[in-house]
Every structure is written in structure tokens, then in C-alpha cells.
């Protein structure tokens, strides 16, 4: 029996670590969890395939000096207004971000920022306050600082707006400093669908690019648009380079004046829009095409709409200095 007891004691003395752990708690302290950065955690979530992370857009700082090699001067501009009609509604906020770029469409540095509120002559409609967050209290006594704004606009080679057809008429009605400037539209002059985007609203573009920002305030929207325009995708050109090239091309507006009434549905289906003449244009259906597409469009009108080979609809050639005017 004594031999048996000694054997048992010897067996437990030589127990494996697993058996020892089962017999009682370890005296070793647990290791503290590793500290992970926000980016590490975001990357881990993305790599799981179960999450899509949006990162907050950070505004670029104003550069202390302009770098050589970026001789062009651009301004991204956004307005908030009391409504949609530039003849009766008013600007209540203007935001502008000035930046440098070169002839190849490469963006340099941010060199100026302006944001200002303006008290309108009438109270801000409730739906505009819901959309923009701008209240009557915020704009009370506020006026746009025209010298500061002019310091950015006057040297600009190009003004960019996300829907220039809306912003340009409001700006030109607001101040003559915008007259005679070249404008570009980051909605209509960039093929966003070819870049994989499902919409053209700024919120869609920002979200699909993997970011979020404080939208519907003018300066915030300008900063966000700059980041999207300067976003490189693979080996192709940036959206801004595409936009700059488009702004340098001439466009042609064709007016299908005196077209037969029964052809209106055909024109509408092809992309023509109706002008009632109230804005100074001809009262007719019209479309805007590139110079390269002018011949095909005239052939369509002559063969399918007028059915007369000698038809000569009015044409207006437009550059960036003329486009997007009221």
C-alpha cells in the first residue's frame, strides 16, 4: 500500500500543465488587451466583408505660399438661397474655396477660404431652414463681405459649382464680380457613372467615395467637392482633370424652332428641353451638344423632325464664359 500511495503522489507531482490548471487557478496575471488605433479597427471591420466604413472628410488647410508649377487659380463655390428662382429669391450664404492647379488639371493647394451669411429681405422659408439649417436668427444683421469674396473671385481662371446652372444665375444677380468669369459644372461636365458612381448629388459622391461630411452648409460642401474632384482612381485622370478639359470645349445649343407640334414627344425623348421664351431664349425645344455631335444632331432634325434637307435651325455657340447663365 505504501508503494501505491507513493506512486500516486509521484503521479500528481508530475502532472501536466493542463491538469494543474484544471486543479486550480493560475497565478499568472492576464495580458492587457492590445491598444488598436481607430484606423486599425476600421480596417479590421472592412476586411471582414460585413461592414462598410465612412471616414470623416478633413478640410485641407490654407497653404502658406503657392507652390511653383500650379499657375492656374480655381474657385469652388456654393450658395444657399431662399428658393429656386434667381429673379425672386435671394442668397443667404456663400461659400468659396480657392485652390491652384496646372494646365494638366492637377490640383495644387488651397490658397483661400471664404464663408459668409446674408440677411434676406424676407424671412427664410421653413423648408429652406429644414434643408440648410440656416435660421432667421443666424442671418440677422449679417452681410456678405464683398472685398473678401472678391479677393478670391477676381483672379479666378475657373469657377466650379455643383450645378452651375443654379448657382451662376444667383451669383450674377447678386454681384457683378461674377460677370465675365468662366464657369464649370461638376454635375453635368463629369461622367460620374463611368467612374462607378450611382448618382451625381454631392452626398452620393461623398458617401460612395467612402466619406461623410457636414452637408448643406456652403463652405463644408466646397471642401467636400474639392476632395471628390481631386480623387485619383487607378491610372485614369482625376474628375477635376476631366472637368477642366470639358470646360475648355465649345458647346452648341440648337433650337428646334418651328418644329411640328406633333414631334414634341420625339424631341423630348431625345433630350430636348422646352423654352417658353420668358428667359430671353427662343420659344422652342432646344438641346446642347458638343461640336463633334453637331452634324449628327442637325441630320436628325432635318430627316426626322422637319423632314426637309435645307432646314437651318438657329445655333448658339457657348464657351465656359457663356454656359450656365440665366
Residue 129: which CATH number?
A: 3.30.420.10
Do both 134 and 256 map to the same domain? Answer: no
Do both 290 and 175 map to the same domain? Answer: no
Do both 166 and 292 map to the same domain? Answer: no
What is residue 326's predicted lDDT score, i.e. its pLDDT?
84
Instruction: Give CA separation, 249 vs 5, 40, 56, 164, 298, in Å.
Output: 100, 45, 35, 16, 19
> What is the C-alpha to C-alpha distance for residues 130 and 132, in angstroms, rounded to an integer?
6
Sign of CA dihedral 143, 147, 148, 149: positive
Do both 219 and 92 map to the same domain? Answer: yes
Do both 92 and 229 map to the same domain? Answer: yes
**258 contacts: CB under 8 Å, gap ≥ 6:** 284
* Rg for the chain, CA atoms, rounded: 31
Do both 167 and 310 map to the same domain? Answer: no
Domain stops at, among 248, 267, 282: 248
User: How does residue 24 score in pLDDT terms, banded at 50, 70 and 90?
Assistant: low
Q: What is the domain extent for residue 303?
A: 251-318
Do both 244 and 263 map to the same domain? Answer: no
Residue 240 lies in a domain: yes
Cell of 310: 435645307
Do both 214 and 256 map to the same domain? Answer: no
Residue 109 lies in a domain: yes
Highest mean pLDDT among 10-14, 40-44, 72-76: 72-76
Do both 197 and 82 map to the same domain? Answer: yes
Domain stops at, among 213, 230, 248: 248
Number of compact structural domains in the chain: 2
**This prediction's pTM:** 0.82
Over range 147-156, report the average pLDDT.
98
Do both 226 and 179 map to the same domain? Answer: yes
Over range 172-196, report the average pLDDT.
96
Domain stops at, among 225, 248, 271: 248
Amino acid at each position: 500500500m505504501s508503494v501505491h500511495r507513493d506512486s500516486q503522489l509521484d503521479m500528481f507531482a508530475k502532472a501536466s500543465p493542463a491538469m494543474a490548471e484544471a486543479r486550480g487557478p493560475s497565478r499568472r496575471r492576464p495580458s492587457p488587451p492590445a491598444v488598436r488605433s481607430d484606423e486599425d479597427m476600421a480596417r479590421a471591420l472592412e476586411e471582414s466583408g460585413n461592414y462598410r466604413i465612412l471616414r470623416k472628410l478633413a478640410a485641407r488647410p490654407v497653404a502658406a505660399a503657392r507652390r511653383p508649377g500650379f499657375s492656374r487659380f480655381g474657385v469652388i463655390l456654393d450658395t444657399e438661397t431662399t428658393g429656386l428662382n434667381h429673379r425672386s429669391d435671394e442668397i443667404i450664404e456663400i461659400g468659396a474655396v480657392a485652390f491652384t492647379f496646372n494646365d494638366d488639371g492637377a490640383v495644387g493647394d488651397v490658397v483661400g477660404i471664404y464663408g459668409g451669411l446674408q440677411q434676406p429681405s424676407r424671412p427664410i422659408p421653413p423648408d429652406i431652414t429644414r434643408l440648410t439649417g440656416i435660421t432667421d436668427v443666424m442671418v440677422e444683421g449679417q452681410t456678405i463681405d464683398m472685398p473678401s469674396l472678391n479677393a478670391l473671385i477676381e483672379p479666378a481662371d475657373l469657377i466650379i459649382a455643383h450645378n452651375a446652372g443654379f448657382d451662376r444665375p444667383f451669383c450674377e444677380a447678386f454681384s457683378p464680380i461674377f460677370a465675365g468669369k468662366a464657369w464649370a459644372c461638376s454635375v453635368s461636365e463629369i461622367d460620374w457613372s463611368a467612374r462607378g458612381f450611382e448618382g451625381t448629388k454631392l452626398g452620393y459622391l461623398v458617401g460612395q467615395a467612402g466619406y461623410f461630411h457636414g452637408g448643406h452648409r456652403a463652405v463644408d460642401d466646397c471642401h467636400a467637392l474639392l476632395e471628390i474632384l481631386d480623387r485619383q482612381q487607378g491610372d485614369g485622370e482625376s474628375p477635376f482633370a476631366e472637368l477642366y478639359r470639358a470646360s475648355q470645349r465649345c458647346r452648341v445649343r440648337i433650337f428646334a424652332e418651328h418644329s411640328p407640334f406633333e414631334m414634341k414627344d420625339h424631341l423630348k425623348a431625345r433630350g430636348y428641353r422646352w423654352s417658353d421664351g420668358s428667359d430671353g431664349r427662343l420659344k422652342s425645344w432646344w438641346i446642347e451638344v458638343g461640336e463633334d455631335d453637331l452634324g449628327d444632331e442637325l441630320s436628325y432634325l432635318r430627316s426626322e423632325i422637319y423632314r426637309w434637307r435645307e432646314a437651318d435651325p438657329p445655333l448658339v455657340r457657348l464657351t465656359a464664359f457663356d454656359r450656365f447663365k440665366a
